Structure 1
Amino acid sequence: MREMALFAVIRLVLWAGIWWVLTLFDIGVMLAGVLAALIAMLISILFLNRVRDAAAMRWKAADDKRRERHPDDVDEDAEAEDSFLDAEAAAADGTHGVEVTGTSRATDASHSGPGELPELPAEDPENTSADGR
């Protein structure tokens, strides 16, 4: 937590200092704020590698601990979306059944793909009007 707070404070102080310098040049408060944010971001990317990496590693360690405490947390919406995408991918590959969370799911037979479009009736030139309708 200390690393993340340190990184945030350094970036905020950097932004405030750059904003103050830019407002001295009479750029305007809003434009100075936007430019200060961009410049502070670039400076932090270039020169704050150690602090940023330490914060990222701390964040990863905390996330790993959380995953160890709750390994059975399953996002049901994500699972449903994944199974739907797997079924769509299998239909595109030409397979007709996909094993999804212990059940076999067949693709919908009424679904027409681009290769299975119905034939259009031939136009009768005698029944069409001059404007093509």
Structure 2
Amino acid sequence: MPPVLVYTLSRIGLFLVTLLVLFLAGLQNPLLLILASFLISGIASYVLLSKQRDAMSARISDRLDRPKTQDD
């Protein structure tokens, strides 16, 4: 599976888990729930998804550094 897809799905999953946990903890205000989930999952992903982020970054960097083929 491409590293970009793995990282993106992991970020979405972490956000949804955080959203569910905060909702079950009693946070009922939808705007506050989404903002808190975004903030907490962002901090958690910085720590928990560092390997996936590095793999994604390396993949993107490799693609940008690859010489472009020229059609004559």
Q: State the TM-score bracket (shorter-chain normalisation).
A: 0.7 to 0.9
Q: TM-score, length-normalised on structure 1?
A: 0.47
4+ runs of 1 displaced by more than 6 Å? none
Trace 1:1-133 onto structure 2 (pairs within 5 A): 2-24=2-24, 25-65=26-66, 68-69=67-68
Please identify the structure whose Cα radius of gyration is greater.
1
Q: How much has 1:55 moved relative to structure 2?
A: 0.3
Question: What residue identity is the alignment partner of 2:14?
Answer: L
User: 1:117 maps to which residue?
Assistant: none
What number of residue pairs does the alignment pair up?
A: 68
Q: TM-score, length-normalised on structure 2?
A: 0.83
- Measure the CA separation in 2 of the matches of 1:39 and 1:16: 11
Q: Which runs of 5+ in 2 are unaligned?
A: none
Q: Which has the higher contact order (CA 8 A, sep 6+)?
A: 2
User: 1:74 maps to which residue?
Assistant: none
Q: Which runs of 5+ in 1 are unaligned?
A: 71-133
Larger relative strand fraction? 1
Percent identical among aligned pairs is 24
